[in-house]
Structure 1
């Protein structure tokens, strides 16, 4: 079928929206009409790094309505409202243990730009186009996805805003609630106040953390963090010594730290803020070849743990409904950091986010979008 897609042309080039041909769903595939799709930093990292050779259709925070299902699909039916998340195999030892985010075939299923058999599901007159990004490639009006990717969205929730829970929200909130499992009454440092960092703040409030410190240069994001549950914020432009600023709040250091920036100098500075037995979770994508932060002898002496985190250690079928319930109760108001744009303005939306004019972008397929 012919669909409209935002095609990534390569590093330094804008997305181009054009008509492409999308395969009919195979027996194990689901065709979703995309209603809204979040823009995640990972989409932009893949575009600029050309980790998948262009042209490619990215997008991995889609939400929409099931239009067709393959013969082997039983989890959803035509007409179901779904949010799409990362793909996992469902039968390896990690998936069997509920660690879908660390599926043994995670790279092949999510980052290769092809189906498992090497075929591409999208093409135009010039030839095949990279597809199946995170098992969805949802920067398009329609996407092919899989049973392990989809979670049903209840009728009382705004479907167009549910896509980001499939990556950014579950990464931030899950990083605190599942990966670090911060204890009630503990202290936490979060570096970076983008969508993942602010989701982490909301997760910290749900966990009952006593001290929650956010480091973020944009004043509006610091203010939003305080509304979401942060107890303190730090402007890194005003405080050049992060450890001193943090220990002025938590003299013994923090029990947990969570970095969303991916900046090696920030990560190194965070190591000096940890209390003994402190745990440092890292989700920010760093430049290739970046070494782990900190001095090995100091890590040993104080019993530090450095933990890599993917997708908030989420088991989507369990965790995404939990996040939806928190949102329904008002405990996870992630909609307050979303600005919607029409799909046709994807490049303008990314530029606005880069300038700090909005926190989280969601592209809407069927409306003109809104900008507060």
Structure 2
């Protein structure tokens, strides 16, 4: 069918809205009519070729929509189902079958390779291939084909205009906290970065019962917003030494848990130094391939800390996304306060507003 999509053509270049051809869904795929898609930092860094996904490409990986057609082998979805789209994974490797699909042995190929595993693409223009299947979905399109495994069915009355970011950015921050760090009631956490991922982590920490929640950033308006959402303390690391302030707030002890959502090497170092004895820190922020960060192995050896590298919140989307929706419906996870919507034709404005920090989580409406 003929569809409309936003195509990334070159680094640091606006996406180009074009008419493309979408092929038929494979036996294990469904065709989804997109209702909305979040704009994520990962879309920008892949457009800019931090990761070498072939261009031209249809990016987008926080899609939500309605099933329009189902492949012959699909048994758990039907036409008309509302779905939120998650990252791709093979489903058969050791990591997938033990409940950790975000560490699928073929994660890079499935999510960044620009094709299906067999080398085919879902999109073409005048017979020429356009990279597709980004995160298994390429949701910057009016319609797309995705493996049924990637699609999470939600309730018929679910607000699809809001739910797309649960498939990546919101899942990443909240999953890192709830699935990996696992703070308990009354415990402490410091979160570096107040973008969508960091604030989702903060909301998850509040839902988990943490009572000392320290948000670190360099943008005063973002820090004030974090306080409005429930942060107990904020630190402007442009004005103060973040590690010193965190230790002051915690009586010299440091925090039991910490999360770096920035991927900035000096910030990662601050995160490790802010931890209490036997504390647990996690990194979710993406950096260019080959980026190295300082890690004081001399001093930190005796601290007993744990540092985890976390992809997509180490979540099983079909299990975790419904949990986030349930928390949201109960008023315990108000991630909607992070969202600002844009028309699909304004996609490049959404990218610019995300990069400048004007908008925390842009969501495109089709």
What does residue range 72-111 of structure 1 map to in structure 2 within 5 Å?
A: 72-111=73-112
Distance 1:82 1:93 in 2: 26
Distance 1:288 1:46 in 2: 12
Distance 1:7 1:234 in 2: 39
Report what 1:249 is aligned to: 249
Runs of 4+ in structure 1 displaced over 3 angstroms? Answer: none
1:63 and 1:82 in contact (8 A); partners too: yes
1:204 and 1:229 in contact (8 A); partners too: no
Distance 1:226 1:290 in 2: 32
What does residue range 311-326 of structure 1 map to in structure 2 within 5 Å?
A: 311-326=312-327
Report the CA distance between 1:353 and its aligned residue.
2.0
What is the TM-score normalised by the length of structure 2?
0.97
SS at match of 1:248: helix
Report the CA distance between 1:290 and its aligned residue.
2.4
Report the CA distance between 1:12 and its aligned residue.
1.7
Superposed CA deviations along residues 287-316 of structure 1, whole A, max 9, x for unmatched, are 322235422233321111110001111011
Superposed CA deviations along residues 171-207 of structure 1, whole A, max 9, x for unmatched, are 1111100011112221111000000000000010011
SS at match of 2:14: coil
Distance 1:306 1:73 in 2: 39
What is the TM-score normalised by the length of structure 1?
0.95
What does residue range 190-339 of structure 1 map to in structure 2 within 5 Å?
A: 190-239=191-240, 241-250=241-250, 251-339=252-340
Distance 1:213 1:134 in 2: 32
Report what 1:27 is aligned to: 27
Report what 2:42 is aligned to: 42
Report the CA distance between 1:156 and its aligned residue.
3.1
1:39 and 1:360 in contact (8 A); partners too: yes
Report the CA distance between 1:52 and its aligned residue.
1.0
Report what 2:153 is aligned to: 152
Q: 1:156 to 1:293 in 2, by over 3 A?
A: farther
Report the CA distance between 1:217 and its aligned residue.
2.3
Distance 2:95 2:243 in 1: 37
1:173 and 1:203 in contact (8 A); partners too: yes
Distance 1:78 1:29 in 2: 12
Report the CA distance between 1:357 and its aligned residue.
1.6
Q: CA RMSD in A?
A: 1.2
Superposed CA deviations along residues 199-245 of structure 1, whole A, max 9, x for unmatched, are 00001001111211001223332222223321111112221x11111
1:9 and 1:55 in contact (8 A); partners too: yes
1:172 aligns with 2:180: no
Report what 1:140 is aligned to: 141
Distance 1:13 1:185 in 2: 46
Paired residues, number: 364
Superposed CA deviations along residues 96-124 of structure 1, whole A, max 9, x for unmatched, are 11111112221111110100001111110
Report what 2:13 is aligned to: 13
